[in-house]
Amino acid sequence: MTTKAEQRKALERGLRKLNENMITLAELSELAIRKAVDGLARLDEDVAHEVFTLDQEVYALQIEIERTCIDLLALHAPVARDLRTITTSLKITTDLDRIARYAKDIGEITLQFGGARPDEPLGFMHLREMADHTIRMVDTATEAFVHRDAESVRNIIEVDDTVDRLHDEIFQDIVQRMTDRTLDVQTGARYILVNRYLERIADHAVNIGMRVVYMVTAEWLPRVRAADRSKDQERET
Amino acid sequence: MPQPTISVDIGNPTIESRDLSVWYARNQAIRRVGLKVPRHQVTAIIGPSGCGKSTYLRAINRMNDTILSCRTEGQLFVDGEDVYGPNVDPVILRRKAGLIFQKPNPFPKSVYKNIAFGVQLHYRASEKELDEVVESALRQANLWDEVKDRLDDNALGLSGGQQQRLCIARALAIEPEIMLMDEPCSALDPVATAKIEDLIFELKKDMTIVIVTHNMQQAARVAEYTAFMYLGRLVEFSRTRDLFERPHEELTENYITGRFG
């Protein structure tokens, strides 16, 4: 029969492994989105392919983390902070996986351009700003997870509102340019998709941030889905 | 002395202690515990060995009185009456608050007599009434179907789990309002444990249950409220789900996550 101290040690070993894998996963996802944006900016197909590899690594690691979490839950019936750490990891692996998936989608758009941008890259300049905000949000959220820092992510929803506003502005801008034919439709459509992917990534960063607050403080921040928030905003205007 | 975290307000408690302290000779086992036990719910008391949880349980129906060197201070109310006040008959108190022990302790008599004995001590009952009480208590304890053909067999021939349910039936026969359980499943296998837990779930409809347990998963399964005690002090009292998901006290967190104890 194992003693309580031995059980605790086994759980701690599992939690350590989980934490190491989570940090790697967060780093890989963030790297994927950074590279995806960089690849698109320079229309570098090699970089796009690197993003595809990263996405596969993220997916495989996500599966491994899920298994670790299920083992820990099944074998140790964890409570309190341990429980919150494991359930939070289980939830945010999905967010990190989605972020890598959107990075891959951006990489595919890079390939679609076939190495040549048929139009002036002005539309992309706004997207660059959008991408910077989004990457910063992902960075803040993953750093908060790594350092168990709830305070740094408390206002992440407000940052997301900026991203949402930018998303709408860029969308309008692209549509306007396509309408007055200063931007060809194919390029415009691709930019609209990239714009949308970045906005979704920012939402996943918000999810991660809120889960980190729960993990560290056990507090549930009032959660309004981004979609509902934008609906409310529409109603207000 | 640090104050405990009490994160729920209990209105109309069945049991309430105020500054309850218990000594065994010079050794203080409970230190000024103030706790309200909610009515018709299950409250678990957890904590490492020697934290005073069993002593607290036994203080409720004055079982500690039987220990010569034991001294109690403070107040303990059952249904608003101070059970350590004057004119309280411990026998009547114990009829109101039955106690189930860690190890099943049936009398070395027949199954039937195990239950009838306690009833006859408290009430005068005809043979027919007695039969009815025995059957009803065994049914309530989910034991009737297993022993109805063996009522005259010696109770010590039953399995451990059956013996424990017999002890519960014995307590139920005198219709208590409170059931105090001191690690009732620690000597039982998982199947027998599940039967007792099912029983607890049914019993709480009509009575207040306080269960002392070493098994935190058991507390999480059966109890709506959980009290954590340490070194004779009450450290934290919360809804069970809150205590296990978001304990307020560092001590509670360290204990329930297995960092000590």
Residue with tokens 């996802």: A29
- CB contact under 8 Å between A218 and B246, yes or no, is yes
Check if the beta carbon of residue A173 is closer than 8 Å to that of residue A126.
yes
> With 70 as the cut, is the pLDDT of residue A46 above it?
yes
What's the pLDDT score for residue A231? 65
Task: Name the percent of chain B lying above pLDDT 90.
Answer: 87
- The whole-chain average pLDDT of chain B stands at 94
pLDDT band at B225 (very low <50, low <70, confident <90, very high): very high
Inform me whether the C-beta atom of residue A199 falls under 8 Å from chain B C-beta atoms: no
pLDDT, tens digit (0-9, with 9 covering 90-100), for B59-87? 999 999 889 899 999 999 999 999 998 88
What's the pLDDT score for residue B1? 72
Residue with tokens 């750093």: A143
pLDDT, tens digit (0-9, with 9 covering 90-100), for A174-205? 999 999 998 889 989 999 999 999 999 999 99
What's the pLDDT score for residue B259? 87
- Of A21-30, A130-139, A228-237, B88-97, least confident by mean pLDDT is A228-237
What's the pLDDT score for residue A223? 65
| Residues of chain B in Cβ contact (below 8 Å) with chain A | 216-217, 220, 244-247, 252-253, 256-259, 261
Cα of A28 vs its chain's centroid, Å: 11
How far away is chain A from the Cα of B217, in angstroms, using its nearest Cα? 8
- Of all residues in chain B, the one with the smallest CA distance to A215 is B246
What's the pLDDT score for residue A155? 87
> With 70 as the cut, is the pLDDT of residue A227 above it?
no
d(CA B233, CA B51): 7
- CB contact under 8 Å between B258 and A4, yes or no, is yes
- CB contact under 8 Å between A80 and B256, yes or no, is yes
The tokens for A34 are 């950074």
Q: A–B: how many Cβ contacts below 8 A?
A: 34
Check if the beta carbon of residue A12 is closer than 8 Å to that of residue A80.
no
**Burial letters for B44-82: b for 16+ Cβ neighbours within 10 Å, e otherwise?**
bbbbeeebbbbbbbbbbbbbbeeeeebebebebbbeeee
Name chain A contacts of B216, Cβ cutoff 8 Å. Answer: 79
Q: Which of A13, A76, A79 should we substitute to test contact with B (largest number of B Cβ atoms within 10 Å)?
A: A79
Per-residue pLDDT, averaged over B214-242, amounts to: 95
First to last CA, chain A: 66
| Amino acid identity for residue B220 in this structure | A
d(CA B133, CA A56): 69
Name chain A contacts of B247, Cβ cutoff 8 Å. Answer: 80
What's the pLDDT score for residue A1? 52
How far away is chain B from the Cα of A47, in angstroms, using its nearest Cα? 44
What's the pLDDT score for residue B99? 94
Inform me whether the C-beta atom of residue A78 falls under 8 Å from chain B C-beta atoms: yes
What's the pLDDT score for residue B59? 96
pLDDT band at B184 (very low <50, low <70, confident <90, very high): very high
pLDDT band at B122 (very low <50, low <70, confident <90, very high): confident
Task: Name the percent of chain B lying above pLDDT 70.
Answer: 100
DSSP 8-state class, residue B14: S
Per-residue pLDDT, averaged over B108-122, amounts to: 92
What's the pLDDT score for residue B152? 96
- CB contact under 8 Å between B244 and A83, yes or no, is yes
Check if the beta carbon of residue A164 is closer than 8 Å to that of residue A231.
no
What's the pLDDT score for residue A220? 87
- Of B217, B246, B259, nearest to A77 by CB-CB distance is B217
- Of A4, A77, A78, nearest to B261 by CB-CB distance is A4
d(CA B247, CA B227): 11
What's the pLDDT score for residue A124? 63
- CB contact under 8 Å between A79 and B244, yes or no, is yes
Residue with tokens 């999810």: A207
Per-residue pLDDT, averaged over B34-41, amounts to: 97
Q: Which of B236, B245, B253 should we substitute to test contact with A (largest number of A Cβ atoms within 10 Å)?
A: B245
Per-residue pLDDT, averaged over B156-177, amounts to: 94
What's the pLDDT score for residue A3? 80
What's the pLDDT score for residue A184? 87
- The whole-chain average pLDDT of chain A stands at 90
Q: Which of B246, B250, B259 should we substitute to test contact with A (largest number of A Cβ atoms within 10 Å)?
A: B246
| ipTM (interface predicted TM) | 0.77
How far away is chain B from the Cα of A116, in angstroms, using its nearest Cα? 55
What's the pLDDT score for residue A6? 87
* B35 DSSP β-pair partners: B17
